[in-house]
Amino acid sequence: MSLGLGVDIGSLFTKAVVMRDGELVASLIAETTGNVSEEIAGLIGKTLEDAGVAASDLDASAITGRGADAWQEAEYKYDDVSCIAAALKHIMPEVGMSLEIGGQSITALLLDGEGGIIDFMRNDKCASGSGKFLEVMSAAVGVSIEQLDEVVTRSTKKVPISSQCGVFVESEVITHVNEGEAVPDIVAGLCESVAKIIISQALKFGMLEDYTLTGGVAALKAVTGRATPRINGNYREFPYDPRLVCAMGAALMAVAE
């Protein structure tokens, strides 16, 4: 039996998972704060408790993410791209491309079906389309990112968002609010804007067969429901919370070392 712990410290959320023989047995997601090093022990402890195991039972542990340096006790440290590839090789080997829509960037990975990375592209110079982008823009209309799926169901139209730059989009959103546009219609426009960015990233790899979306934004049906029908290829929904993919990959890689 193999037992691995994987932790992913992202810009918006910190995720911890326990994998037993390649299967997810426990997971926790918490908002990333400025006290990551203090809070990570509690998150890991609770995840181990939920899994019914002790730290001494673990065969290996690994850390990934932008805040990976905050947990020095991990046996291994991996980059996020390798973790995504490892998770998809194990969970969805048929997938040829993944779009990781994280807190600060969108990363497109072209995979060979055997865990190998053929190519990848990341738009980390601009946060447009990322979780942080949506969080800031939705806050401008008084809506939390968790409420987007519900709010957009009340829209009757999509208020057009012409810019893809966060600074200009926020100004555009505020203008729409001041002009009396309904919040659900503005939210629908924001989701459409993010969907277009995702589609643009996917098209950089041309024709696709099977692909998936991971990262926090992938959990928002208001976005994925607009993007996936317009991407060439067969969309395969990630079978777990899409925010967990990097942590799961880290755990899988650690026990394989």
Residues of the chain with pLDDT under 50: none
Residue 129's pLDDT is 67
- Ranges of beta strands (E only) in 53-152 are 60-64, 76-77, 97-101, 106-111, 117-122
Query: What local confidence, expressed as pLDDT, does residue 45 receive?
Result: 95
Q: Is the whole model's pTM more than 0.85, yes or no? A: yes
DSSP per residue over 187-254, as a string?
A: HHHHHHHHHHHHHHHHHTT-S-SEEEEESGGGG-HHHHHHHGGGSSSEE---SS-GGGHHHHHHHHHH
Measured distance CA(210)–CA(208) in Å, rounded: 6
The tens digit of pLDDT for each residue in 211-231 reads 999 999 999 999 999 999 999
156 DSSP assignment? S
In tens, the pLDDT along 134-173 reads 888 888 889 988 899 999 999 999 988 876 665 677 778 8
- What pLDDT is recorded for position 163? 64
| Residue whose C-alpha is closest to residue 198's, from 216, 179, 180 | 216
List Cβ<8 Å contacts ≥24 apart for 115-121.
115/85, 115/86, 115/88, 115/89, 116/85, 117/81, 117/82, 117/85, 119/205, 120/81, 121/201, 121/204
Question: What is the edge-to-edge ordering of all strands in the sheet holding 234-235?
Answer: 117-122, 106-111, 97-101, 210-214, 234-235
Task: Please tell me what DSSP assigns to residue 181.
Answer: -
Q: Which residues of 169-190 are buried (b: 16+ CB within 10 A; e: fewer)?
A: bbebbeebbeeebbbbbbbbbb
* Closest residue by Cα to residue 195 from 165, 232, 231: 231
Name all domains of the chain by residue range, CATH numbers in brackets: 3-83+244-256 (3.30.420.40), 95-238 (3.30.420.40)
Tokens of 147: 């409420």
Q: What whole-number distance in Å separates Cα of residue 162 and Cα of residue 8?
A: 34
Structural tokens at position 80: 């996020």
